[in-house]
A and B are shown apart, each in its own frame.
Chain A
């Protein structure tokens, strides 16, 4: 156990093996972050005193300039001594539920498409998270945890569901798809800022490929909520017709067909898909008639998709930045 003190702020304990970021979040501190895996560059800090081990020295989240200036990533820094760090606190990003490390057991695996499966995991104690958040899964044989978003909603039984796309030559997904029910893993959750916020506006969910899980979680929470006159539409973008999924899960929700809609689209022009064609952000914009003023937009998927949405909604349409929420899937 080491002690981390924020320069001019509070001090907190960091368990052996934990990172500066996660130790702070476990204490409920408003530390900025997004991905937890060294890619987004949001969790930068400066080490004033002490020593840390850098878990990912080539992390894409730091530029040459950042390194030259001695900046580090809190999500990739593991203290090896008591530390003083310079990091900004922001009340707006205080974790609504404090993350905890738990042991878990894989209960079931259900294939959804040619390369996506649903994994159901159980922990002792409640599954406590907000719709749209993610967990870090520590899989045996892997040096670093992987981030996966929950597809279900919080429950006292300790059930966590994930929808994972198998990545060619991916070490994490290879380990996960090789697991069979009964296997043990460790689950650290919840994380992420792109969770469903209460509002009087309609909800638009945009998912691309592996981004289905958090959007499904948001749709499920919306369906469980009050049956008011707000609407939710989930746009799902896939490459080919064989990759489309989520229809059955959406159709099972109360309010489907009235308050809740599902709009899939396929981007491969040579595919025989009977539904809509094109990139999902374009399909969404057309379907909404480019009127984004009365909705909150959530999205999840590969970085080029979130970038295209940011460009379309914030730069072109000028919607307020807090109406678009996402965690990029690096």
Chain B
């Protein structure tokens, strides 16, 4: 398991970008339904999704306002068509880990 951050680092309704060596940047989202981790880079362009607005379980890309369902990575707003990669997380003792 790979440590990402503390749960308290990401307020509910917010997100945080995590840069780890040797892998694409990740975005940690804190939704009412739990903590979710996806790739941070939009599959349409090169925008950072952790800078996007979170709206009803979806994240809107700050660049062309395309959207993805955070839990599944499914595109849910044009121009996004390629699914976003989602990652399995484990929350333990107030810490967020990536399940590898």
Contacts and interface: CB of A to CB of B under 8 A. Distances in A.
Contact of B82 (A61, A63, A311): A311
Interface in A224-262: none
Interface residues of A, number: 22
Interface string B62-78: 01111100000000111
A88 to B, nearest CB: 8
B13 interface: no
A37 interface: no
A315 B80 CA distance: 13
Interface string A52-67: 0000000011110110
B77 A60 contact: no
B64 to A, nearest CB: 5
B55 interface: yes
A63 B56 CA distance: 14
B78 A63 contact: yes
Interface residues of B, number: 19
B37 interface: no
Interface in B21-68: 43, 45-46, 55-56, 58, 60, 63-67
Contacts of A11: none
B65 to A, nearest CB: 5
Nearest to A320: B46
A37 B24 CA distance: 34
Contacts of A61: 78-79
A310 B64 contact: no
Interface in A30-55: 32, 34, 39-42, 44
A315 B78 contact: no
Contacts of B85: 315
B3 to A, nearest CB: 25
A314 B79 contact: no
Top 9 nearest A-B pairs (CB, nearest first) are A41-B78, A63-B77, A41-B79, A42-B79, A61-B78, A40-B79, A42-B64, A44-B65, A310-B82
21 contacts: A32-B63, A41-B66, A41-B78, A41-B79, A42-B64, A42-B78, A42-B79, A44-B64, A61-B78, A62-B78, A63-B67, A63-B77, A63-B78, A65-B67, A88-B63, A307-B81, A307-B82, A310-B81, A311-B82, A315-B85, A321-B45
